[in-house]
A and B are shown apart, each in its own frame.
Chain A
Amino acid sequence: MKPFGYVAAKDCEHAVALLAQYGKGARVLAGGTDLLADLKFSPHPPPEVVVDVSRVKEMKGISLTDAGLRIGAITTHGEIIESSVVQQVMPALADAAGVIGAHQTRNLGTLGGNLMTCVPSMDSGPTLLALDAQVTIAGPAGRRTIPLSELFVGPRRTSLQPGELLVDVLVPKENLNKPTGFQKFGLRKGQALALVNAAASAWMNDGLFSEPRIALGAVAPVVIRAPKAEAYLAGRPVSEEAMAEAGRIAATEAKPITDFRASAEYRRDLVAVLVKRCLVAALGRATPNQKELAS
């Protein structure tokens, strides 16, 4: 790698001060799985300074708070998979973490890094978007909270300004235990980027879909919601046919491209299949009472 400066940030404020001081000359290092691969092979000049946030305590860990489930930005995918609280209140996020890269990269790579690298195929995005997640951003002027959807701007582009840092992700308390399914389709089971990934969440009380959320990855410049499919499901009786139709509608909302991994047509077909599977998986996670009403 080309030489660069290095500072290990002591806390968020220290990291923000460094990021503000160096502006575009600074890069944030968390798990390193994207950044180091990038720095090794990038044709661009190296950053002036790499700000290592991998020891910032405030940014690590998973905790239930009054506001919901908070996951620090440098929590690794491995830690999310092993977390009993995630397994309990948000198992779809553990499903997503479990199909990122391979074992070794899951032990290094972080949730915040997955979101901030902001590739359209990120596996953490759909589930969190389907659960109305919010993110905390620290900057020179203090902290702000925005919906996760507002973080994503384009491929490898987020709405963070120079000097800002992603601190944590919060899934609001009203969405904990909301039945959610996540699905990924890649060309292999390990070490594969998603051709398409998707997540769907919905309450299914009284046998009706309510507050349905459908999120799609790798079929648009950023992870997107499928509002027409959501509107179709809202208030509708839970049935396999409704799930399949929601998938077909979501496929019309996707804007996939053709590349060396798959054609746009194939990706569009996958959206329909995966959205239905997500809804089936969500139903499988609904409480027995909800399931009974739906059958």
Chain B
Amino acid sequence: MNVTLTVNGETRSAEVPPETTLLVFLREYLNLTGAKTGCDIGDCGACTVILDGKAVNACLMLAAQADGRDVITIEGLATREGLHPLQKVFEETGALQCGFCGPGVILSAKALLDENPAPSKQEIRNALAGNLCRCTGYVKMIDGIQEVAETMRSVPTPALPAASKGEQKHG
């Protein structure tokens, strides 16, 4: 069957058997191997992606269920200008060691910050409860996420000048 969805802003499409999970679709059909195959039953969170704005386990849904929807994977975070602030802070503070859980942790954190720009430590812990890390531990991740939240709140939104230009054009 054909599955077409938006991945990191691009329309992607593939012919897959019905039993293909979203995770297998991303990794084996689109070669986006950032989302990891860990437990494969929704316990470890290594496969976490953002689907229509919500963090989900890509291993627990069929690719067919994501047809027509919007997916963000870890590959979609960095830009030409550099790493996403979450990636940067994880790198700088050593919030990751082996890195296997990293894509999932960072996407859970992104989904949280997109909805709640000023989370408490407890809210961050709650958002990461579905992501297992077996080497670094969680303290540096939680501190890092809080640091990014503070920085992102203090930086003026870069989209503003573009928006005002648009208004002038239409005005």
Residues in A lying within 8 Å of B, measured CB to CB = 1-6, 8, 29, 31-33, 36-37, 39-41, 46, 50, 52, 54, 78, 101-105, 107-108, 189-191
- Judging by beta carbons under 8 Å apart, are B130 and A36 in contact? no
> How far is B60's CA from A29's CA once the two chains are assembled, in angstroms?
11
On chain B, the residues within 8 Å of A4 by CB distance are 18-19
> How far is B10's CA from A37's CA once the two chains are assembled, in angstroms?
29
- Judging by beta carbons under 8 Å apart, are A3 and B19 in contact? yes
Q: Interface on chain A toward B: helix, strand, loop, or mixed SS?
A: mixed
A36-B21, A36-B62, A105-B60 given; A190·B129 CB < 8 A? yes
- Judging by beta carbons under 8 Å apart, are A8 and B64 in contact? yes
| Leading 10 A-B pairs by shortest Cβ distance | A102-B130, A190-B129, A6-B18, A1-B19, A107-B54, A37-B41, A102-B129, A104-B57, A104-B130, A32-B61
A5-B18, A37-B41, A37-B42 given; A104·B56 CB < 8 A? yes
- Judging by beta carbons under 8 Å apart, are B62 and A29 in contact? yes
On chain B, the residues within 8 Å of A40 by CB distance are 40-41
- Judging by beta carbons under 8 Å apart, are A54 and B41 in contact? no
B45 close to chain A: CB less than 8 A: yes
- Min Cβ gap A143→B in Å is 26
B164 close to chain A: CB less than 8 A: no
- Judging by beta carbons under 8 Å apart, are A190 and B65 in contact? no
A41-B41, A78-B54, A103-B55 given; A6·B130 CB < 8 A? no
- Pick the contact of A52 from B17, B40, B57, B62 — CB < 8 Å? B62
On chain A, the residues within 8 Å of B41 by CB distance are 37, 40-41
Residue of B nearest to A1 (CB): B19
A32-B62, A52-B62 given; A2·B129 CB < 8 A? no
Residue of A nearest to B49 (CB): A104
On chain A, the residues within 8 Å of B108 by CB distance are 103-104
> Max chain B CB contacts within 10 Å: which of A3, A5, A54, A108?
A108
- Min Cβ gap B73→A in Å is 14
- Judging by beta carbons under 8 Å apart, are B55 and A101 in contact? no
- Min Cβ gap B51→A in Å is 8
Q: How many A-B contacts if CB must be within 8 Å?
A: 88
> Max chain B CB contacts within 10 Å: which of A54, A101, A103, A189?
A103
A2-B19, A50-B18, A102-B130 given; A191·B59 CB < 8 A? no
On chain A, the residues within 8 Å of B60 by CB distance are 31-33, 36-37, 104-105, 108
B146 close to chain A: CB less than 8 A: no
On chain B, the residues within 8 Å of A191 by CB distance are 43, 129-130
Residue of A nearest to B20 (CB): A1
- A interface footprint on B108-137 (CB within 8 Å = 1, 0 otherwise): 100100000000000000110111000000
> How far is B45's CA from A54's CA once the two chains are assembled, in angstroms?
22
On chain A, the residues within 8 Å of B54 by CB distance are 78, 107
> How far is B43's CA from A191's CA once the two chains are assembled, in angstroms?
7
On chain A, the residues within 8 Å of B57 by CB distance are 33, 104-105, 108
> How far is B17's CA from A189's CA once the two chains are assembled, in angstroms?
37
- Min Cβ gap A255→B in Å is 29
B87 close to chain A: CB less than 8 A: no
What are 28 sample pairs from A and B whose C-beta atoms fall under 8 A apart? A3-B17, A6-B62, A6-B64, A8-B64, A31-B60, A36-B59, A36-B60, A36-B61, A37-B42, A40-B40, A46-B19, A50-B18, A52-B64, A78-B54, A101-B42, A102-B129, A102-B130, A103-B111, A103-B126, A103-B130, A105-B60, A105-B130, A107-B51, A190-B126, A190-B129, A191-B43, A191-B129, A191-B130
- A interface footprint on B1-37 (CB within 8 Å = 1, 0 otherwise): 1000000000000000111010000000000000000
> How far is B149's CA from A15's CA once the two chains are assembled, in angstroms?
44
- Pick the contact of B55 from A32, A39, A50, A104 — CB < 8 Å? A104
> How far is B71's CA from A189's CA once the two chains are assembled, in angstroms?
28
Residue of B nearest to A35 (CB): B60
> How far is B64's CA from A160's CA once the two chains are assembled, in angstroms?
26
